[in-house]
């Protein structure tokens, strides 16, 4: 029960890595708010674990402020923020549109900024907080992902900066950077490339030293570690979770 009496807000919690994280935090005692773009996936995850479901577009400031106020009112001040909301709009540079760029930067980078800024208020008051942002191995560069790679590298810089600013309030800020994880996001990539998902997964696994792709639970357990007091002296770091170095 590492998260007994803690309040955790998980964005993008209706699917994939966010859903696995919300379930794990709840199973260890946290009062969880599951936020997603639409209420239906948020509710599907939240209801069975007794969590609060909130619909929120993280790229819209009014939505984020409303979500954070609601969580504070219904569950108490926020102790843990995990930002999993994410999209991909892959294309080679010469084909990447302004809309592809803006949608990805707004969701990952602006969305995380808005959530962190809104959530820090109650963390500073409590002199306690854990923030974990979802980065990616794509932060190191990945063909067709100029927008996503820039956003994911940006999140690492943002986490390091917030770790410096918020450390004096006993707030830890870190990023987790997964490799290939089996979710709707990687399924969509296979579809876009015209590949069968099973073949796509086998190809990815063959490139990974541990010879398997990740599951959302593989990432959730590392996020939970960074949300726990076991990692209370770790801040401003990125942990790559990709089955290899
Ligand atoms: P996923 O299954 O597609 O889940 C992403 C969630 O984010 C979806 O529930 C989606 O909602 C939600 N979302 C999208 N735009 C949003 C917005 N503007 N406001 C609020 N919620 C929004 O993806 P995932 O694979 O679990 O990814 C979770 C995070 O891990 C992402 O940041 C992703 O970039 C990162 N990551 C994933 C992988 C991987 O291999 N899967 C690898 C590295 C990093 P709807 O479905 O309702 O649209």
Indicate if ligand 1 lies below 6 Å from the C-beta of 13: no
Q: Is residue 39 part of a domain?
A: yes
Q: Is residue 56 part of a domain?
A: yes
Number of domains in the chain: 1
pTM beyond 0.85, yes or no = yes
Distance between CA 193 and CA 180 in Å, rounded?
Answer: 15
Range of the domain at 100: 7-181+215-241
Q: Is residue 190 part of a domain?
A: no
Q: Is residue 32 part of a domain?
A: yes
Q: Are strands 52-55 and 31-36 parallel, antiparallel or unpaired?
A: parallel
Task: Please state the separation of Cα 107 from the chain's center in Å.
Answer: 11
Q: From edge to edge, which strands make up the β-sheet containing 238-241?
A: 52-55, 31-36, 7-11, 80-83, 129-134, 171-178, 238-241
Q: Is residue 65 part of a domain?
A: yes
CB atoms < 10 A from the CB of 209, how many?
9
Q: Are strands 31-36 and 129-134 parallel, antiparallel or unpaired?
A: unpaired
Of 90, 185, 200, 239, best ligand 1 pocket probe by most atoms within 8 Å of the beta carbon: 185
Q: Is residue 201 part of a domain?
A: no
CATH code of the domain covering residue 137? 3.40.50.720
Q: Is residue 137 part of a domain?
A: yes
Q: Is residue 86 part of a domain?
A: yes
> Would you give per-residue pLDDT tens digits along the chain (245 residues)?
999 999 999 999 999 999 999 999 999 999 999 999 999 999 999 999 999 999 999 999 999 999 999 999 999 999 999 999 999 999 999 999 999 999 999 999 999 999 999 999 999 999 999 999 999 999 999 999 999 999 999 999 999 999 999 999 999 999 999 999 999 999 999 998 899 999 999 999 999 999 999 999 999 999 999 999 999 999 999 999 999 99
């Amino acid at each position: 029960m590492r998260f007994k009496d803690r309040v955790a807000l998980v964005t993008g919690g209706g699917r994939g890595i966010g859903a696995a994280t919300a379930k794990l935090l709840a199973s260890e005692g946290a009062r969880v708010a599951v936020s997603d773009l639409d209420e239906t996936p948020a509710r599907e995850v939240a209801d069975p674990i007794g969590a609060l479901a909130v619909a929120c577009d993280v790229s819209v400031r009014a939505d984020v402020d409303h979500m954070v106020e609601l969580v504070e009112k219904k569950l108490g001040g926020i102790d843990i923020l995990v930002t999993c909301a994410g999209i991909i709009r892959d294309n080679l540079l010469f084909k990447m549109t302004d809309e592809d760029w803006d949608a990805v930067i707004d969701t990952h980078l602006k969305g995380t900024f808005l959530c962190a800024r809104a959530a820090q208020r109650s963390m500073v008051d409590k002199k306690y907080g854990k923030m974990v942002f979802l980065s990616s191995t794509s932060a190191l560069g990945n063909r067709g992902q100029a927008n996503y790679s820039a956003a994911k590298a940006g999140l690492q810089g943002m986490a390091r900066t917030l770790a410096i600013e918020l450390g004096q309030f006993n707030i830890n800020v870190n990023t987790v950077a997964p490799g290939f994880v089996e979710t709707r996001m990687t399924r969509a990539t296979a579809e876009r490339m015209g590949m069968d998902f099973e073949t796509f997964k086998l190809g990815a696994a063959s490139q990974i030293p541990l010879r398997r792709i990740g599951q959302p639970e593989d990432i959730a357990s590392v996020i939970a570690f960074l949300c726990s007091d076991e990692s209370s002296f770790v801040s401003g770091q990125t942990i790559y979770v990709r089955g290899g170095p």
